[in-house]
Structure formats: C-alpha cells, structure tokens
Amino acid sequence: MLLLIGGTMRKIDVSDVVVALTGAGVSAESGVPTFRGEDGLWQRYRAEDLATPSAFMRDPKLVWEWYDWRRGLIAKCKPNRAHLTLAEIEQTLGPDGFFLITQNVDGLHHAAGSRQLVEIHGDIWRMWCVRCGYEVEDHTVPLPELPPKCPRCGALMRPGVVWFGETPMGMDRAFAAARTADMFLVIGTSGVVYPAAELPTIAHKAGAYVVEFNLKRTPISSYADEVILGPVGETLPEWWEKARPESR
Ligand code: BJW
Ligand code: ZN
C-alpha cells in the first residue's frame, strides 16, 4: 500500500521529462547491503578505512578484499521490481523523456534494461590501473590475485568506483538533467552524500515536481511534493501504474 505524505498524487504529463536519482535503497530488496542505517555497511566498516584514496594507498590489499567480498555478494543478486519498473519507465517515455542517475555501483539498473543512465559513483565491475590508466570490465569472483595487477604495465589496479574526496562521474549530464526535469524522482537514498544530494534541490529550485520514495523521511522530504513511504519494490510499481501517462 502506498503511504503518501503531503500533497496529492500527480500523473506524468505526456510532454514531461522525468529524471530519477537512485541510491542503495533501490537494491536493498535484491540483497545488496546499504551503507547507512541499522544493517548498513558503515555500521561494520569505517568509510575512512575503505572508501577513500588514502585508505587505498595505505593498504590496497585490505581495500580490495572488501571490494572482492562485495563483488561476490552482488554477483548473486538480481534486479528487483523497482529496477524493472525504472527500465519500463524508460521504455515508455523514450530516450528524450527519461533519464536515470544512480549512485549505485552494482550494475543492477543495466541488468534490468535501463540504458539512459549515468553511474555517478562508478561501477564495481570495472577497474583501472593507477599508473597507465588501462581500464577493464571484469566480472570474475573471487579475483584470483589481490590486489590485481595491470596486464599492461604491472602496476596496481584500483576498483572503478568513486571514493570520498574524488570527483563523481558524469556530473555535467546529471546536473543538466536535474535542471531540465519536469518531474524528479528520488528513490532509496539517504540524501546525505554530495554532490548527489544536491540534484533534487537543483531540480526543485528549477521548478520540477519532486517525488521521494523511501522507507523513512530524509532531508529531501522537507521540500518534496510527494513522499511515498514503503519498500520501493512495492511502492514504485504501484506509483507507476497510477502516474503513467495516458499515451506515449
Ligand atoms: C529503502 C529501502 C527500501 C533502504 N525501499 N528505501 C567532509 C569531509 C570530506 C568530504 C566531505 C565533507 N563534507 C562533504 C564532503 C563531500 C563528500 C560527502 O558528501 N560527504 C558527506 C557524507 C559528509 N562527497 C564526496 O567526497 C564526493 N565527491 C565530491 O564531493 O567531490 C567534489 C565535487 C563536488 C561537486 C561536483 C564535483 C565534485 C564523492 C562521494 C563518493 C561516495 N562514495 C560512496 C562509495 C562508492 C563506492 C562503493 O560502493 O564502495 O558511494 S559512499 C556511499 O554513499 C556510496 C553511495 O553511493 C553513497 C550514497 O549512499 P545512499 O545510496 O544514499 O545509501 P544509504 O545507505 O545512505 O541510504 C539508503 C537509503 O535507502 C536510506 O534512506 C534508507 O531508508 C533507504 N532504503 N531500503 C526504500 N527497500
Ligand atoms: Zn598499467
């Protein structure tokens, strides 16, 4: 059941451009651990020890062991109804009507069929060489050697993700999408990591109608036009059935 807080429900207009920002909550029902909250990764591991460039320089083996473990977990996960709904929204609204910005590194949006997307915190299935920049997609789990070495020059490979203090990827496209959205969906993110957390604010200030989906309220809820509480595997498909445009 959709639990709606504030505002009435708005349907998507045929001419609307819809942009979505997703976070770890969208993959939670697939079995991918989130970061914050009771069972989150940051309860058991310190971000500063594992998700910063200095942590990697200090102990690349430790950092790679953590990523190898997470790759093993994610390899067993499949897209859930929320990922599949977002792929269906893209199919329905077309490439000019929908754009997806994800903070997730698990690749589940792509596996679900989403193509108009930018993975601003990178991709756990990619790695690149810290010396020559050689980049590769590699789905091997577990990796045979930790830390992995560059096949071109023998230097260290690093996970293809964005750590604290690093510049997120594709932010030009993400900012442009936020500025031009008519409707902005914020799905399963705590809204505390920047610059991702700025995107719904930018969209809201530019006049977009903001709809938030989460288990609980976040800093974004204070200005969202609709806050829909509940597990996104249920709330997003239910919302889409009601909000989808009559024709397109
Ligand atoms: C459900 C659900 C269900 C659950 N249904 N809902 C002070 C010191 C140092 C740095 C800073 C500082 N102050 C600010 C900064 C900047 C820093 C930052 O924001 N820090 C804050 C935390 C304080 N940001 C950066 O460093 C970023 N870079 C940067 O700012 O560069 C400068 C720049 C600025 C502007 C333009 C360009 C450049 C980089 C941030 C990189 C974040 N990296 C990580 C790790 C990625 C790799 C990996 O996976 O290992 O990204 S951290 C982690 O947090 C991960 C996530 O993508 C990110 C966001 O987390 P998310 O998705 O919100 O997950 P959770 O767990 O927090 O929330 C889940 C939500 O879902 C919850 O709300 C649940 O309720 C909900 N939920 N189940 C519905 N079933
Ligand atoms: Zn190299």
| Confidence (pLDDT) at 7 | 63
- Domain holding 12: CATH number? 3.40.50.1220
In this predicted structure, the answer to whether residue 70 has a pLDDT above a threshold of 60 is yes
pLDDT of residue 141: 98
pLDDT-derived band at 167, boundaries 50, 70, 90: very high
**Where do we find the tokens 């940051």?**
42
**Is 221 part of a structural domain of the chain?**
yes
pLDDT at res. 37: 85
Pair (59, 90) in one structural domain = no
As a whole number, the mean pLDDT across the chain is 95
Same domain membership, residue 12 and residue 24? yes
> Would the CB of 103 count as within 6 Å of ligand 1?
yes
- Please check whether residues 84 and 117 belong to one and the same domain: yes
Residue 154 resides in a domain: yes
Query: Could you tell me if 90 and 152 lie in one domain?
Result: no
The reply to whether 24 falls in a domain is yes
Q: In this structure, are 103 and 21 located in the same domain?
A: yes
Of the residues 140, 161, 182, which one is the last residue of a structural domain? 161
Q: Which helix (H) or strand (E) holds 164?
A: none
70 CA to centre of ligand 1 in angstroms: 17
CA of 152 to the centre of ligand 1 (A): 33
Same-domain pairing of 129 and 212: no
Does residue 2 surpass a pLDDT of 90? no
Find the length of the chain: 248
Which residue from 35, 66, 120, 173 has its CB within 8 A of the most atoms of ligand 1, so it is best to mutate? Answer: 35
- The whole-number pLDDT of residue 3 equals 66
Residue position matching structure tokens 């309220």:
217
Contacts 24+ apart (CB under 8 A), 111-118: 111/78, 111/79, 111/83, 112/79, 112/83, 112/84, 112/86, 112/87, 113/84, 113/87, 114/83, 114/86, 114/87, 114/90, 115/90, 116/90, 118/169, 118/170, 118/173, 118/174
Task: Indicate whether 5 pLDDT > 70.
Answer: no
Q: Could you say which DSSP state residue 222 is in?
A: G
* 129 in Cβ contact with 115 (< 8 Å): no
Residues 236 and 147 grouped into a single domain: no
pLDDT for 8: 78
CB–CB of 223/198 below 8 Å? no
Co-location of 22 and 55 in the same domain: no
CB distance 69 to ligand 1 below 6 Å: no
Same domain, yes or no, for 177 and 106?
A: yes
CA distance linking residue 225 with residue 127, whole number of Å: 39
**For the segment 81-100, what is each residue's pLDDT rounded down to a tens digit?**
999 999 999 999 999 999 99
State mean pLDDT over 119-138.
98
Q: What residues make up the domain containing 190?
A: 3-31+78-121+168-243
Average pLDDT over residues 170-178: 98
Same domain, 176 and 142: no
CATH number of the structural domain spanning residue 59: 3.30.1600.10
- Is any atom of ligand 1 closer than 6 Å to the C-beta of 73? no
Percent of the chain with pLDDT strictly greater than 90: 90
User: 60: Cβ–Cβ under 8 A, 6 or more apart, which residues?
Assistant: 147, 156, 158
Same domain for 181 and 201, yes or no, is yes
Is there a single domain that holds both residue 196 and residue 225? yes
Q: Which of 139, 161, 183 is the last residue of a domain?
A: 161
| Total number of domains constituting the chain | 2
Look at residue 248 and tell me if it is in a domain. Answer: no
- List C-alpha distances in Å: 97 to 14, 26, 101, 111, 182: 9, 21, 14, 21, 10
Q: Is residue 36 part of a domain?
A: no
Beta carbon of 145 within 6 Å of any ligand 1 atom: no
The count of other CB atoms within 10 Å of the CB of residue 73 is 13
User: φ, ψ for residue 157 (rounded to 5)?
Assistant: -95, 150
